Structure 1
Amino acid sequence: MIKTVRIGIIGSGGIAHAHVNQYKKLPDVEIVGVADVVPGKAKQFIESQSLENAQPFEDHRKMLEMDLDGVSICTPNVSHHLTTVDALRAGKQVLLEKPMSVTLDEAVDMVQASRESGSMLTIGFQPRYDPNMKLVQDIVQSGKLGKVYYVETGGGRRRGMPGGTFIRKDLAGAGAMADIGCYSLDMALNAMGYPRPLTVSAYTSNHFGTNPLYHNEADRFEVEDFGVALVRFENDLVLQFKISWAMHMDSLGSTIFLGTDGGLKVEPHGTGNWSGVWDGKVGSMTLFHDFMGQQTSTPVPVIEHSKELFFEKVRDFVDAVRDGLPAPIPGEQILIQQAIIDGVLRSADLKREVSIELPY
């Protein structure tokens, strides 16, 4: 058993601060290296975070030559594939920020690298650690809904468009679909045991992001700010997926699961321009069913908790590294949602339905 888990950080942008802040809470963790391609940025990050025992690197491969047990990968989306594969092949356990990759082929390559190296690849979806997300999964898989045949998920911010690297196609690869849509997909797909998708028919647009009335970087906005898709799965299951960074509407609605014996409605938590997406808590839940031949609905009590979801994600990774446990959120699973996002973007570009081919 590893006594002290030695961690390296690849990428020192905003999300890296969140990772380091949580690692610092764990007494059995030492951050020993930080890598960033921007000259001087890793050193500046180390100083700002008071990481006295960490060495700075401009080349992540040099850092991977160190005695490391695991790495957090916090780079822009377009770099996830390269840095993850390099880390896995170097024998390091990997906690990768979402989204998993830009394309399905990249995700497949990452999973293959994990299998060949024997190194763990886990993807950072902290909403899974909300006990209410587990409750949604338990209800769907309990059989109370009967056969689930239709699911609707997604989320929409009235105004909640990021900027910088998030809106550059060469760095982010995709926009709202990958940024917040991946949370919505994980919520629904995880509840259903990650079924295999077959086809996708989708539409995307960026009417708000490219309009200077709504975004101060409109001339540099290259990704989608809205998307909708119909996804067909094995076992005659259909999912409607919709997401928006900005719109003239207060909400894109609830997440719903329709089954032959019942239905479940799940409302997002919070209010305001940046709410309405599944990157955090659950608002309310209602079970719709018949009782004694009568239509009825039952409120599902929301579990109150004080968990720091990001901390739970990081701690779970450290526990897995230290104790040799399986990946908490395995890459093989998230590869499926990456296949859907990849299909959405292909379908929207071709303006027709496309097939999804999975290698596993």
Structure 2
Amino acid sequence: MNSNIRIGIIGSGGIARAHAKAYKKIPGVDIVAVADVVPGKAAQFIADQELTGALPFEDHNRLLELELDGVSVCTPNVAHHRASIDALEAGKHVLVEKPLSVTLQQGIEMVQASKRTGNMLSVGFQPRYDPNMVAIKDIVQSGRLGKVYYVETGGGRRRGMPGGTFIKKELAGAGAMADIGCYSLDMALNALGYPKPLTVSAVTSNYFGTNPKYHKEAASFEVEDFGAAFIRLEGDITLQFKISWAMHMDTLGASYFLGTDAGLKVSTPYNGSSWNGVWDGGVGSITLYHDEIGRHAETSIPVLQHQVDRFFEKVNDFVRAIRENRPAPIPADQILFNQAIIDGILRSSETRREVDIVIPNF
């Protein structure tokens, strides 16, 4: 009897290639099917990735009729919702790429489907597997900072605007928020233990994306390339957030955790590249600010130089969770708070006022 983990991939774009590469490295895992709505694209993907014996489909529901243990959802953002729910209801565990969904309501329905079916829904935030990201969370959770009352996070690329499906509102839902902003939010919220967001006051703009001087697809640019927000979290925590795909600046600065006993400053890795300066992987420096014998003191936390393949670890952890019948490594009901903030930012910017965030209890 074949006891290998059987995997299907829905969507065969660039991110699907990274999933396939990771699965192929894991002993005892077979990619048995790929689905893509574009005729011939799944078959071409199978050939390109040398997935011997895998079956191609244009309809993901046909793929879900197969005996599968897990599914990677690698579609454009707009299709995360339907593909994930269909997979969960077909009895499959799901690893969906970030962002969780396009709207908060879609995210709620996805979490409800996971709870209803008992199948796990994990979300693709590979920066969590960076050892330095783990250290940041360990420091915050240790209580060393005392009561954390203010957090600032975000990042920005001097020039780093994608195109294609990333800039179409009907496909992506949001721009910089959904692409890289969700990573910044996860870095901070995960360290804090994911407190519930309560209100958001925000602004967004797309001065660069809609300007042909800066983007070759300016005429069809429909999402935001910049956003800033003031967010109130449970536990009397204030979160200041900012993100940018393009700007006339080298960086939007470090992230800060201010506590009653100490503060933590974390810088993004920045080496002068136009695409650096966001929390999609890596850490530049970690510094603890505190008092010792009544004097100001600073402790530099060594940043580990490592060879951890964060993306592989994300996929491998999903497979381990299937094998060991464990909960989702990065649970969707947690990431729903992340999605709720993005949803709140877009609503607040559109209405030009602070908005409440309402998330049901599950």
TM-score (normalised: structure 2): 0.98
Rounded Cα–Cα distance in structure 1 between residues aligned with 2:236 and 2:2? 46
Partner of 1:171: 171
In percent, how many aligned pairs have the same letter? Answer: 68
How large is the RMSD of aligned CA atoms in angstroms? Answer: 1.0
Partner of 1:108: 108
Partners of 1:3 and 1:322 within 8 A in 2: no
1:7 to 1:295, Cα distance in 2 relative to 1, 3 A: same
Partner of 2:203: 203
2:214 aligned counterpart, secondary structure: coil
Rounded Cα–Cα distance in structure 2 between residues aligned with 1:3 and 1:288? 52
Q: Give 1:2 shift.
A: 8.2
Partner of 1:193: 193
Q: Give 1:304 shift.
A: 2.0
Query: Alpha-carbon deviations, 1:108-139, whole Å to 9, x = none?
Result: 10000001101010001000001111100011
Partner of 1:12: 12
Partner of 2:333: 332
Rounded Cα–Cα distance in structure 2 between residues aligned with 1:39 and 1:99? 26
Partner of 2:296: 295
After TM superposition, list the pairs within 5 Å mapping 1:48-67 onto structure 2: 48-67=48-67
After TM superposition, list the pairs within 5 Å mapping 1:15-164 onto structure 2: 15-164=15-164
Instruction: List, as ranges, runs of 4+ consecutive aligned residues in structure 1 with deviation greater than 6 Å.
Output: none
Rounded Cα–Cα distance in structure 1 between residues aligned with 2:132 and 2:123? 20
Partner of 2:253: 253
Rounded Cα–Cα distance in structure 2 between residues aligned with 1:133 and 1:26? 24
Rounded Cα–Cα distance in structure 1 between residues aligned with 2:21 and 2:137? 29
1:24 aligned counterpart, secondary structure: helix
After TM superposition, list the pairs within 5 Å mapping 1:227-246 onto structure 2: 227-246=227-246
Rounded Cα–Cα distance in structure 2 between residues aligned with 1:319 and 1:38? 31
Q: Which amino acid aligns with 1:149?
A: Y
Q: Give 1:53 shift.
A: 1.2
Partner of 2:305: 304
1:288 to 1:117, Cα distance in 2 relative to 1, 3 A: same
1:274 aligned counterpart, secondary structure: coil
1:185 aligned counterpart, secondary structure: helix
Partner of 1:220: 220
Q: Give 1:234 shift.
A: 1.6
Q: Which amino acid aligns with 1:295?
A: H
1:5 to 1:201, Cα distance in 2 relative to 1, 3 A: same
After TM superposition, list the pairs within 5 Å mapping 1:310-349 onto structure 2: 310-349=311-350
Rounded Cα–Cα distance in structure 2 between residues aligned with 1:233 and 1:331? 19
Q: What runs of 5+ residues in structure 2 fail to find an aligned partner?
A: none
Q: Which amino acid aligns with 2:330?
A: I
1:175 to 1:2, Cα distance in 2 relative to 1, 3 A: farther
Q: Give 1:177 shift.
A: 0.6
Rounded Cα–Cα distance in structure 2 between residues aligned with 1:14 and 1:251? 27
Q: Which amino acid aligns with 2:105?
A: D
Query: Alpha-carbon deviations, 1:32-54, whole Å to 9, x = none?
Result: 00000011110111111111110
Rounded Cα–Cα distance in structure 2 between residues aligned with 1:131 and 1:142? 16
Partners of 1:2 and 1:323 within 8 A in 2: no
Partners of 1:161 and 1:246 within 8 A in 2: yes
Rounded Cα–Cα distance in structure 2 between residues aligned with 1:238 and 1:129? 26
Rounded Cα–Cα distance in structure 2 between residues aligned with 1:329 and 1:235? 22
Partner of 1:279: 280
**300-309 vs 156-165, greater mean Cα deviation:** 300-309
Count of aligned pairs between the two proteins = 360
1:106 aligned counterpart, secondary structure: helix
Rounded Cα–Cα distance in structure 2 between residues aligned with 1:16 and 1:127? 18
Q: Give 1:3 shift.
A: 2.7
TM-score (normalised: structure 1): 0.99
Q: Which amino acid aligns with 2:116?
A: E
Rounded Cα–Cα distance in structure 1 between residues aligned with 2:304 and 2:49? 34
1:355 aligns with 2:356: yes
1:56 aligned counterpart, secondary structure: strand
Rounded Cα–Cα distance in structure 2 between residues aligned with 1:2 and 1:78? 35
